[in-house]
Chain A
Amino acid sequence: MTTVVVVGIVALAMINFAFKASGPAVLGDREPSERTQDVVASLSPALLAGLVVVEIAGPHWSEVDWTRIVGLAVAAVAYRRGLPDLVCILFAVVVTAGLRLLVP
């Protein structure tokens, strides 16, 4: 176990470092083509949408929880009404926790 722990930590840290270092070290400040820039600009909404889905679904859709979905809906409505991000998140937490308390 100790070997797995130590080697695992060091190896995972090195893999992570290499993943994040490779692009910046190799590409430098080269100006990408316009097509590449378009793709890069749309990476952010694509990744965010993916993150929201996997956070809601979990592996194999095993972590779907209706209280969390309602909390997220409340955050979205609060955002639409122009409230600050932290307040939107606080609403989501309070509503989610409240529903779990009221509907065990």
Chain B
Amino acid sequence: MDPAASGGWRAGIRAGIPLGLAASALAVTFGAYATLAGWPPAATILMSALVFSGSAQFAFITAVSGGAGLITGLGAGALMNLRFVPMAAAAARSLHGGRFRRALEGQAVVDGSWVLAQRPDGTTNREMMIGATLVQWPAWVLGTTVGALLVPSADLLYQFGLDVVFPAFFLLLLLEAIRSRPDHRWVALIAAGLASVAVLVVPVGVALLLSAAASLVVLRRRADPAGGMP
């Protein structure tokens, strides 16, 4: 069943649980990684609470601990998160209130929640998105705390197969998205191809941004309604 089509807050929180579990597993890795890179645990936990973005946090700490300066680190983190600009813009009309409240509600945009909340008509299930994020934020902070204080080895997490949780969840969401809109399979294929090539030469965050460009394919199909393929 399409998660975005059903329910509100409660459905969002329920749908956010597997995302929260995956986020906490990744956060444990992040907490341990940052501590091993020389970051004080308190700063690592604070970073997760304020930034709440795994890809940007990993990118920043990798760059800075690798000898790059602050500006380079911030640039790496910003590139990772640039995709949130179009994603939040896409959700804009489904959010409530004036500019300030919308800007605050836009903070609920994270990959998993945003995807869960997308309806086939392009609108966003606001309650689903915010509810799912409300589960993930504490999970992310708690996982970081565990990782920063206990510093489990990356090997341990690997041996338990926890690194498969996030891609598995995204794969299931992709299969669901294609099942509800079979015409989007071409978009997914092109996006996968773009990401496959891009990740060879640009940072992961930029590769994701480029893969999102595959959505422009629907414009060509609209111009040629007889064509089944872009």
Whether A25 touches B103, Cβ cut-off 8 Å, given contacts A41-B118, A49-B191, is yes
Is A4 positioned at the interface, with any CB of B under 8 Å from its CB? yes
Residues of B near A40 (CB, < 8 A) are 90, 122, 215
**Which chain B residues (146-166) contact chain A, with CB distance < 8 Å?**
158-166
B70 touches A7 (CB 8 A): yes
Identify the interface centre among A11, A28, A47, A65: most chain B CB within 10 Å of its CB. Answer: A47
A41 touches B122 (CB 8 A): yes
A61 to B197, CA, bound (A): 9
A2 to B168, CA, bound (A): 37
Distance (Å) between the CB of B153 and the closest chain A CB? 14
Which B residue sits closest to A23, measured CB to CB? B89
Interface of chain A, helix or strand or loop or mixed?
Answer: helix
**Which chain A residues (6-54) contact chain B, with CB distance < 8 Å?**
6-13, 15-17, 19-32, 35, 37-54
B91 touches A49 (CB 8 A): no
Is B226 positioned at the interface, with any CB of A under 8 Å from its CB? no
Number of interface residues of B (CB under 8 A): 102
Whether A4 touches B70, Cβ cut-off 8 Å, given contacts A16-B52, A25-B100, A76-B175, is yes
**Which chain B residues (36-72) contact chain A, with CB distance < 8 Å?**
38-40, 43, 46-47, 50-53, 56-57, 60, 64, 70
Q: B residues near A, CB below 8 A?
A: 17-18, 22, 38-40, 43, 46-47, 50-53, 56-57, 60, 64, 70, 73-74, 77-78, 81-93, 95, 99-100, 102-107, 109, 111, 114-115, 118, 120-122, 158-178, 181, 184-185, 187-192, 194-196, 199-200, 203-204, 207-208, 210-219, 222
Q: How large is the interface on A (under 10, 10 to 19, 20 to 34, 35 or more residues)?
A: 35 or more
Whether A27 touches B50, Cβ cut-off 8 Å, given contacts A49-B191, A93-B162, is no
Residues of A near B60 (CB, < 8 A) are 8, 12
B174 touches A12 (CB 8 A): no
